[in-house]
Chains A and B, each alone.
Chain A
Amino acid sequence: MKAPQENAPPRSTFSRGPCGKRRSAARGGEAVAGWLFVAPVVVILGLFLLLPILMALWVSLTGWNGQGSPFRSGVPFVGADNYTSLVAEDGLPRQDFMTSIRNNLYYVFLVVPIQTALALGLALVVNQRMLKSKGFFRTAFYFPSVTSSVAISVVFLFIFANSGAVNALLGAVGIDGPVWFNDSRGLIHLLLDTVGVNSPPGALANHDVLGLSWWDWLSGPSVAMCAIIALVVWTTSGTFMLMFLAALQNVPQQVEEASLIDGANRWQRLRYVTLPMLRPTLFLVLTLGLIGTWQVFDQIYVMSQGNPAKTTLTPAFLSYRTAFKDFEYGRGAAISFVLFLIIVVMTLLQRWILRERKS
């Protein structure tokens, strides 16, 4: 094994020398051709993605009232006013925005880990070589993902209705189920209630951060939000299961066999062999999950419209409501840009946490 490697030329000279030369000499004309090939996509992206984003950015800096074009001379330019009303000024807009951020934070913190873990679990199960009728299970698990989210939302409305399936099941084991979509109590508040804390301690109720008291920030997701969380976890885990499954099938069998020979047990194989090889997929799933959960809109629109008591209000829905129901187009656009920033920051943060650590 050792001898031929020593005789072979160093890898670097082998690849660098001839290739580098050819690129500089012959590829000048190819660059033009390359640009021509990508031109349609560049034009389409510019026209339908970049340009609308820039237009929205402009709207977020104006006090446009929705009459005529926002690019006329008469439209008042208000600078960062729309943004400061969201974060700096005490008032209803900031309160609504911060409430929506709180709701979405709890939503993200619950949905992303649960759906990732569930998707990984399903993928591991479906990937078992012993499993019979794999095709059936794959289809069954993936099915919710290909169904229209609006249709599923409506079905869930029935399932979680007061006399629906969920409460009937809970009733069968003697639990009096909540009125799911009318229940604005937060989970953490409910937990505190069981240990006897049912009114906010003064220290939490009297101190505000960004327009919401500590007690409100620490409410936890409301019961209504939990129903939506259950729905989203159920629908998206199928998609992510497919990604994990594809990655699992790329794990070479030899590696697994080698670990078996080394005497690794089931858990060790998963923890030290399979999971490290899934790292790129894990990153993909977490990123997509993070972005998707911060943008949640259709389930909210169909199921709750932000009710009860604003506990299912999310920034994406608030942006829509502010612009198209309250006619505050500037503030609506500003919310969407703040949301964009949040998503970018969260993704960078997650990338930093999941980075390859060189020991």
Chain B
Amino acid sequence: MGKEKPDLVYGTLDMLILKALQHDPRHGLAIADRIQQMSKEILHVEQGSLYPALYRLEAQGWIKAEWGTSDNNRKARYYTLTAAGRKQLAAEKEHWARITKGINLVLAGA
């Protein structure tokens, strides 16, 4: 069901969103910005595709949302990482590390 941009590995968007929310609550646009910034402009998140992922994470109970105002005084919905979300993030990071290690080993092999 995911409709990520091709430059994002399938299934990683959830993890990136959780990571982007690790320290501060953010609204949708800010999450997209944060991912872009953290990846040093390598990863571009199609903003529309962010919302299905956000709702999915919210339904899982990993993030929660509430209305607030943005820096320039506009209404926006802010997402916060929950305790369960924090655990999930840790789990996904570990999983990711293992997978990439494996893939790297394969690619580096003779």
Same complex for A and B? Answer no
Residues in A lying within 8 Å of B, measured CB to CB: none
Residues in B lying within 8 Å of A, measured CB to CB: none
